[in-house]
A and B are shown apart, each in its own frame.
Chain A
Amino acid sequence: MGRFLLKRFALALVTLWLLSVIIFTAAQVLPGDVGRRVLGPFADQRAVDALNEELGTNRSLVVQYGDWVGGVVRGDLGDSYAFGRPVAEMLGPALENSAKLALVAFVIVVPVGILGGVLAALKEGRLRDRLISVSGLSATAIPEFVWAVVLIMLFAVWLGVLPVTAQAPEGANVFTELRYLLLPALCLVFVLFGYISRMARAGTIEALDADYTRTAFLKGLPRRTVIRRHVLRNSLLPTIAVVATQVGYLIGGLVVIELIFGYQGIGQLLFRAAEQKDFPLLESATLVIGAIYLAATLVADVLYSVLNPRIRYAEAT
């Protein structure tokens, strides 16, 4: 187990380094120079030159890369070009916001999705199954920004029971924050529900068909016990893997939702950084999101191995 973890961890570090090279080069091939991008096409050339000088963006790429990576290793993510503040200072609150939203969405969608999938599987091919599967699929097929607008119009504009934006006022308590986060979280729930419930359904159906389940039934165990002890334990394995891979998306990929709800998460920060060619912010934010993806996958692997004796024992020998 320890060696397994160590190997995965080392691999993750190599991946992060590769990622840093890729995002650095990718960001630098974006057209237009930095000073120009920050000041806009109509700014005086002298203003642009002055800014490039100030930011050091007129130096060679190798020097700039060394500067950046050296800083990151020492824990210094650099200063944002556009806002002149330390990147870490901007990333922190944004990351916290993103995590909050992801958490609310997760807490709703995981139990609901799994429950839906299991309920559908138990009545495979019947009306209940159809209803759950089709509605899940349709909900997933509708893009999140459509959900956002529909939900806002319904709950915030017409009914007026929930706020339009997701950013709670400063100093709000947990319940107020929850109220603000409910609509964007619901959008994500709709998008993810079909995905998770399908995995849970497939896993459950497979487990129901398995020999051990038949044996358990034949032993004369009550249905509830069989489902709880034998079916669920086995069926949820792949679902957990799916759920874990969604963590990265939920934290780093919510640009659209964050923009529509005016929420200051990391997706919005990243989007603006790309627009503004704010390299330190763009690169460091991408790196952080990459690290979160890797960590989530690592956790998924560990969970999977903990739950799945086959992997656990194979690694141990």
Chain B
Amino acid sequence: MGEEQRRVDTVRRSASEIENNLIDAYADGRITRREFVRRGTVIGMSLPLLSFLAAACGGDDGAGTTAAAETGEVRRGGTLRTAIIGPSQTVDPLKVADEGGLAVLGQTGEYLTWSDEKLELQPRLAESWEPNDDGSVWTFRIRQGVTFHDGAALTAEDVATTLNTHADPDNGSPALSAFTGVLSKGAARAVDEATVEVRLEAPNGNFPYLVSSDNYNVIILPADHDYGSNYERSFNGTGPWKLDRFRQGNNVSYTKNPEYWDQERQPFADRSEIRFLDEEQARVLALQGGEVEVVSNFTATGGAGILTDPNVSVLEVKSVEHRQIHMRVDRPPFDDKNVRQALALTLDRQAIIEGLFEGKADLGNDHPFAPAFPSTDPDVPQREQDLDQARSLLAEAGSEDGLGAQLRTWDGVEIPDLAQLVQDFAQEVGIRIELNITDAGTYYGDAVFGKSPWLDSVLGITDYGHRGVPNVYLTAVYKSDGTWNAAHFKNPQADQLINEYMRALDIDSQRAAARQLQELLLDETPVIIPYFFTRLAATTGNVTGVEVTGMGHVDLTRAGFKA
């Protein structure tokens, strides 16, 4: 005990203020062990150090989260076959904007950091990282001795060039949606052979997430890499799998990379084949028919058959994927806060989750702070269905005789069903909703204000994909000048809190800002978020060790056939 305490003291003396803050928070029981580890990795503390501190400082939540995916007894060798939704366009790191494309990129390419299935950051090509005092400059130590598949060695210059390429507006990388206002072209600089320093436009406490697998375009490539459709010929990268053959629209196959740097993550299987099956039914049937061992994505309703199949193991991955029901706060009838709250109060969220996802989703509380985010304050009361209160709020707004509105959305996944449920629930208090459901292209239009039903309609439902941190949701949806602010929500206090949240380096200040934001958004209700649903993946019973992330990455390095 004494020895351990001495070691803790030594660590604390050399730790920065931010690090000590985090250790305090954990020792006092304000954050769970999982959050401590997660937050620690973000500010650049190493995993061995974190687990030592976690054990030494107690305060465990008992959830026992250190164990990685149970790999059991795995046989080496064999070919793993996976079915995914195929890439819908050229797999070019500068263009990919779909799940199929990112899943393929993630096999051969690697990121500075990996945002794993528990939203914890794992070091990959960055060995470690740390912020300066206010989080405006981040320094990454680049792993040495790593080679690309073409034999070239990874350098700090490669990393800096990759980051700058994606930050350059002229290249039009989808990564810009995370980098805008954070990272500008030329901001990443190789200080020496093994160090990259990144100067941000504004302090950002979550920057390591923005260069993780979450921002899936940013796989690290050689500085002289020529982006474009040529990438499909080589799939050059540093990853555990090397390209064998890519057949567009059909499949891609890999062999394990014998030169892979990480001894802990050498693939068990010899080969991996990923088949592109766009139709959910086709993926599910392929799994059941034994043509693939892994399906990276299926829905509770479409894949009901495999949810109960004893020969299939279902992987449930917490994701923060969600739908936003946004109401224009500058147009009647939703310019009255009471009306917005009334609509939110009509929803029986538990029933919605049961009906649409067989219960496999978290309740949403009308702000983007999903329960899965460590910075979310779980103590903000959950909004429940309350029809009486909804009626009295409507009366207060002078709409006791009811009101009407048109809801616009698009006809994909479970969205039309959700729209119908909202219509039914709203009906009970006299809010008459007329549905106008079109194809996605019509709904999103040009995706700029004035030319997009999504951004212009009084009431709409929009789908939001997974992110490891809520930064992009906050800046793009809730800030006054947000590019996806379909509710036209303009609130100086929210703007200020969002800036505060983004800047915050330690978990306490993040959570303090989050709490205030959660309460503010719950009260203002520019957007109703009924649920955050769980991502479902599946493997056949004879396979283990597959890791699927909320983002849609499929890590097959530790996957293999059971012995």
- Tell me which of B90, B95, B180, B286 contacts A164 (CB under 8 A): B286
Interface size class of B (residues with CB under 8 A): 35 or more
A310 to B347, CA, bound (A): 72
CB-based contact B289/A164 at 8 Å: yes
A43 to B97, CA, bound (A): 8
Which of A27-35, A102-110, A245-253 lies at the binding interface? A27-35
Q: Let me know if A16 is at the binding interface, CB within 8 A.
A: no
CB-based contact A165/B286 at 8 Å: yes
- Tell me which of A44, A82, A170, A269 contacts B172 (CB under 8 A): A44
- Tell me which of B229, B289, B448 contacts A45 (CB under 8 A): B448
Interface size class of A (residues with CB under 8 A): 35 or more
Residues of B contacting A269 with CB < 8 Å? 249
Q: Let me know if A163 is at the binding interface, CB within 8 A.
A: yes
Q: Let me know if A276 is at the binding interface, CB within 8 A.
A: yes
A156 to B288, CA, bound (A): 9
**If A84-B228, A160-B290 touch, does A276 touch B89 (CB 8 Å cutoff)?**
yes
Q: Let me know if B434 is at the binding interface, CB within 8 A.
A: no
Residues of A contacting B465 with CB < 8 Å? 42
CB-based contact A39/B282 at 8 Å: no
Which of A47-55, A123-131, A194-202, A283-291 lies at the binding interface? A47-55
A100 to chain B, nearest CB (A): 15
Q: Which residue of A lies closest to B441 (CB)?
A: A32
**If A165-B282, A262-B275 touch, does A38 touch B89 (CB 8 Å cutoff)?**
yes
Q: Let me know if A85 is at the binding interface, CB within 8 A.
A: yes
CB-based contact B286/A262 at 8 Å: yes
CB-based contact A165/B291 at 8 Å: yes
Per-position contact with A for B13-49: 1 when CB-CB < 8 Å, else 0? 0000000000000000000000000000000000000
A164 to B283, CA, bound (A): 10
CB-based contact B89/A262 at 8 Å: no
CB-based contact A50/B171 at 8 Å: yes
A275 to B98, CA, bound (A): 13
Residues of B contacting A38 with CB < 8 Å? 89, 95, 97
Residues of B contacting A170 with CB < 8 Å? 247
CB-based contact A85/B248 at 8 Å: yes
A123 to B459, CA, bound (A): 63
Q: Let me know if A141 is at the binding interface, CB within 8 A.
A: no
A45 to B172, CA, bound (A): 8
- Tell me which of A163, A268, A277 contacts B291 (CB under 8 A): A163
A31 to B229, CA, bound (A): 26
Q: Which residue of A lies closest to B173 (CB)?
A: A47
CB-based contact B282/A261 at 8 Å: yes
**If A32-B444, A45-B448, A47-B174 touch, does A152 touch B89 (CB 8 Å cutoff)?**
no
A32 to B451, CA, bound (A): 9
Q: Let me know if B278 is at the binding interface, CB within 8 A.
A: yes
A48 to B173, CA, bound (A): 9
Residues of A contacting B447 with CB < 8 Å? 32, 36, 41-43, 45, 48
Residues of B contacting A272 with CB < 8 Å? 88, 249, 278
CB-based contact B441/A31 at 8 Å: yes
- Tell me which of B90, B97, B285, B444 contacts A152 (CB under 8 A): B285
- Tell me which of A41, A47, A82, A90 contacts B444 (CB under 8 A): A41
Residues of A contacting B180 with CB < 8 Å? 44
**If A83-B89, A157-B288, A269-B249 touch, does A40 touch B279 (CB 8 Å cutoff)?**
no
CB-based contact A37/B229 at 8 Å: no
- Tell me which of B88, B169, B247, B445 contacts A46 (CB under 8 A): B169
Q: Let me know if A57 is at the binding interface, CB within 8 A.
A: no
Known pairs A85-B90, A260-B282, A262-B279. 6 more at Cβ < 8 A? Answer: A32-B441, A39-B95, A84-B90, A157-B288, A164-B285, A264-B249
Chain B contacts to A: CB under 8 angstroms: 88-90, 92, 95, 97-98, 169-174, 176-177, 180, 228-229, 247-250, 275-279, 281-282, 285-286, 288-291, 440-442, 444-448, 454, 465, 483-484
25 A-B residue pairs with CB within 8 Å:
A32-B441, A32-B447, A38-B95, A38-B97, A39-B174, A42-B484, A43-B97, A44-B169, A44-B177, A50-B172, A83-B90, A84-B228, A90-B249, A149-B281, A149-B285, A153-B285, A164-B286, A164-B288, A164-B289, A164-B291, A165-B277, A260-B282, A268-B249, A268-B278, A276-B88
